[in-house]
Amino acid sequence: MLTRYLGGLVAVLGTVGALHAQAPSAPFRAKPAFVPSKSAKPTSDVQQAVAEAIQADVPAPAKTLPPAAAPPAAAPMATRNRPEGIATAADVAAACGDTFDSACDCLCGPAGRFWIGAEYLYWTTKGNNYPVLATGAPPGTPRNVAGTLGNAGTSNLIDGRNGNSDWRSGFRLYGGMWLDECQRFGIEGNFFVLGDSNQHDAAGSDGTNIVMRPFTNNVRRNADGTSGQVAPYQDTQLVSFPNILRGTITADSKSELIGGGANFVRNLACSPCGRLDALLGYRYIGLNDTLTIREDLTGLSGSQFPSFRFQVEDRFRTENHFHGGVVGLAYERRFSHFFFGLRSTVALGVNHSVVDISGSTTVTDLAGNSTKYAGGLLAQPSNIGRYTHDSFAVVPEIGGKLGVQVTDHLRIFAGYNFLYMSNVTRPGDIIDTRVNSSQIPPRANQTGELFPKYTHGSSDFWSHGVMLGMEFRY
């Protein structure tokens, strides 16, 4: 009985399956499937149901399938732990018009793993401030007051103010590389030099006009030829004076500026068109100044040494070597093919200053014999020598630039830069205008407190100007 029941059920299921394979004319709601249990027995009701199902010849409902899924899109680039807010190469290309050949998905532009650049500089610097080196007086002015500072008729012929402040050219080279594909860690280096500033000033006469060198004296010559110390007073040395001396005085000053450094670069923030980087590294600044004062004098008939030639020289040279650690920020923002950048750093360290003072006087007599003495006027044995000093210094720098991306690898720009340096030593800081006249060559019977003296002095320094540059990245 069970065998016949199962055989009939298989026949019914085969027939229903064949009908189900045919395309239905209209869908219908399927009846619940009949699943017999092992305990069920075939009855006339069951046979009747099977017969009705066969006689109805109603097609089985078509199986409804879900719509075909769209083909999968191209798999996105692996993020490789992409930092929050870091732009992808595609983002940068779409927003900024750049082209990238990197597989990194977190690239923060501009493009290029390596970069090198050059800038033309046109800067000016804070000038040297020297004391008044040469004065004049109207003809007929008494010798004891002619050319003295503070006298009503005195005019400044070489005043030494703001020397070496001219605009001059220079250049800066820089370069660097990113240490990772995502341009988050890098190193950079730079070097710059400003062209030397040379200034020449001169005054003199053939003996018809009065030209003097002013100083503060602390001794007076007595009638017997000896000297004695007195209270300081304004005095002069002759360069040109009627019937006594003819000659010239020149003052040549030179200023040199050089610098460089290296930094580690760490990206702080990045967007599709901009980035902000932190800088940490080392900085060097070298500032050297030289002042040379020369006199070429010839005695006239009214002097003690007619036709004798006197060549006098004072030389003051200062060197400043700053070494320090630097911290700073660099920002860049791009608009299609254009960009602008800001950069600000501050270096803290030690300025090592070196001072060299020298002077000489050469006297040539009528027979052509020359005698050279140590000391000129402002450089005497009391201050001649080499001196060093170390002091804490601060060197901030700020700059900005505007530029255009010419090709995928080349950009050009223009900008402005300001550099400051504290606690530098320059010639004007160490020149002592007090002179014990008993030291002036040919010296004899020295007396009183000896001047000039060396005393360390310092001031600040700045340089600023415009620049034009180009940069290559690859």
Predicted confidence (pLDDT) per residue in 460-473, tens digit: 999 999 999 999 99
Q: What is the pLDDT of residue 107?
A: 61
Q: Do the beta carbons of residue 294 and residue 249 sit within 8 Å?
A: yes
Q: How many Å apart are CA 164 and CA 426, to the nearest integer?
A: 12
pLDDT-flagged residues of the chain (< 70): 1-107
What is residue 154's DSSP assignment? -
Q: How many Å apart are CA 128 and CA 253, to the nearest integer?
A: 9
Say what angle helices 44-56 and 2-20 make with each other, to 10 degrees. 20
Q: What is the pLDDT of residue 45?
A: 53
Task: Please tell me whether residue 457 adopts helix, strand or coil conformation.
Answer: coil
Q: How many Å apart are CA 376 and CA 441, to the nearest integer?
A: 7
Q: What is the pLDDT of residue 4?
A: 43
Torsions phi, psi for 201 (to 5 deg): -125, 145
Q: How many Å apart are CA 42 and CA 34, to the nearest integer?
A: 13
How far, rounded to the nearest angstrom, does the alpha carbon of residue 449 sit from its chain's CA centroid?
A: 47
Torsion of CA 127, 132, 134, 135, to 10 degrees: 130
Strand 434-435 and strand 168-178: the pairing is unpaired
Q: How many Å apart are CA 321 and CA 194, to the nearest integer?
A: 15
Q: What is the pLDDT of residue 74?
A: 40
Strand 434-435 and strand 210-221: the pairing is parallel
Helix intervals (H) in 327-463: 427-430
Q: What is the pLDDT of residue 182?
A: 86
Name residue 191's beta-bridge partners. Answer: 173, 260
DSSP H or E segment with residue 257 = strand 245-271
What is residue 224's DSSP assignment? T
How far, rounded to the nearest angstrom, does the alpha carbon of residue 267 sit from its chain's CA centroid?
A: 19
Question: What is the maximal distance between C-alpha atoms in the chain?
Answer: 166
Q: Dump pLDDT digits (tens) for 17-37.
A: 444 344 443 343 444 444 444
DSSP H or E segment with residue 295 = strand 274-299
Q: How many Å apart are CA 281 and CA 349, to the nearest integer?
A: 12
Burial of 339 (0-12, 13-18, 19+ CB in 10 A): buried
Q: Kindly list the distances between the CA atom of residue 112 and the CA atoms of 101, 119, 411, in Å, as whole numbers in the listed order.
A: 9, 19, 12
Q: Do the beta carbons of residue 189 and residue 243 sit within 8 Å?
A: no
Q: Do the beta carbons of residue 360 and residue 323 sit within 8 Å?
A: no
Sign of torsion over alpha carbons 140, 142, 147, 150? negative
Q: Dump pLDDT digits (tens) for 298-356.
A: 999 999 899 999 999 999 999 999 999 999 999 999 998 999 999 999 999 999 999 99
